[in-house]
A and B are shown apart, each in its own frame.
Chain A
Amino acid sequence: MNKVYADIDTALADVEDGMSVMIGGFGGAGAPIELIHTLVERYKKTGSPAKLTVINNNAGNGGVGIAAMIYAGMVAKMVCSFPRSSDPKAFTEKYLAGEIGLELVPQGTLAERIRAGGAGIPAFYTPTSFGTTIAEGKPVAEFDGRHYVQERWLKADVALIKAELADRKGNLTYRKAGRNFGPLMAMAATVTIAQASRVVELGEIDPELVITPGIFVNRVVEVPDPQQEETLLRDEVKQGAVRGAVQ
């Protein structure tokens, strides 16, 4: 068994038009920038993968990462909890023009829907959103005197996540708060592709410290010294960069 791919292009080669793509990260922490930008470059050259449904907590910031995907025009719909950021222009303009769809999901419900998808639980009940517009049309039930809203699992064709360490069996660790959605998305996608800052020999990751067991991971690509979304955004602002340009 060797899940390690030599290059990102090969690892992402079968990401196709119309797929649903979970992308790890909360803000810039944990955003797999190299994986995302490789897809953007391919789309710009070949027109594919287009019409993607992207699942992430946010909907891009500035002109990098998911915002670059949106500017490029390859995203048909966002599933997220908070499509705002310090510079949300990429999503906002397309949304207000009716050119991109939005499924707004409360953050904890988004996390639990993804976890449920990965755990084979088709639906669950949560107190979150009861009595609000988000709950409209969803089944409600009473348990022990309180009301709960039924939410369904969320799965995807592909998950793109950022790990710190990986081995050839796909075991992963994360870096600080960059963990966020990574372990959940890894479970919920048909194909999970992780970029890792370092691919280590088997056994170098202490089994007690494995965060995502390799069974949830299909492909690993080593990306040493990965780019950090927040740093790229700050550089963009400093340079007065043209939005949508991916370096």
Chain B
Amino acid sequence: MTAKLTNAQIAWRAAQDIPDGAYVNLGIGFPEMVAKFKPKGREVIYHTENGILDFGEPPLAGEEDWDLINAGKKAVTLNPGAAFFHHADSFAMVRGGHLDVAILGAYEVAETGDLANWSTGPGSVPAVGGAMDLVHGAKRVCVITDHVTKDGRPKLLKQCRLPLTGVGCVTTVYTSLAVVDVVNQRFVLREKLPGMSLEELQALTEATLVADGAVGDLLVPQV
């Protein structure tokens, strides 16, 4: 079994595809890590749905201002040129198609672009937050995820089994083993770990990976 990328390496890979000048929303948790790996020289403006554009690094411990938080309720700082706005404006930025990239986590992604990332089914307190809004409107909706579940089952499926967050919304999936674009309701393999054969990767993927174009090597530094 080939080694897989760490979460930090998946985040690094996703960060390389964010263009200069992009407006980006990073989901709560794992996706927040993407900001750390923004390539030098690119200016990216981060949107947080609770009402800030262009927030920056976390403050030093003890210097938090709890009126200055991100959607994960973590303290942030502002970059020069930042803006505050109310929630309806914030989600107008989302639904209105003004964001360039949204990066989210996933429980399951289907080859149709369907995403399940908000509920593991009945039995717990349901909580959706902004996930169902964020999957609509951004020009690119990217998922970062391990390629398989903790117990080894595929997460890239023909059809999602868990409750959906959105239908046909995912553009690209960055996994611990591959980069896959959703094109015309099919998973098109863009990159895979060089040490892994297509057959090995397919065996860990429920839906068919289309590899009729050139498949690049997924090369990520130790980060």
**A residues adjacent to B (C-beta < 8 A):** 26-30, 57, 81-86, 88, 91-92, 95-96, 102, 104-112, 114-115, 126-134, 147, 174-184, 211, 228-231
Contacts and interface: CB of A to CB of B under 8 A. Distances in A.
A41 to B, nearest CB: 23
B69 A177 contact: yes
Q: Which secondary structure dominates where chain B touches chain A?
A: loop
B105 interface: no
Given A107-B133, A131-B164, A179-B86, A29 B126 contact: no
B66 A230 contact: yes
B166 interface: yes
B163 interface: yes
B56 to A, nearest CB: 13
Contacts of B119: 133
Given A126-B95, A130-B167, A106 B90 contact: no
Interface in B59-86: 64-69, 73, 84-86
A107 B128 contact: yes
A88 B66 CA distance: 19
A219 B163 CA distance: 43
A94 B201 CA distance: 45
Contacts of B223: none
Nearest to A149: B132
Given A108-B95, A179-B84, A228-B67, A132 B166 contact: yes
Contact of B91 (A112, A132, A231): A112
B67 A108 contact: no
Given A176-B67, A182-B86, A231-B66, A107 B125 contact: no
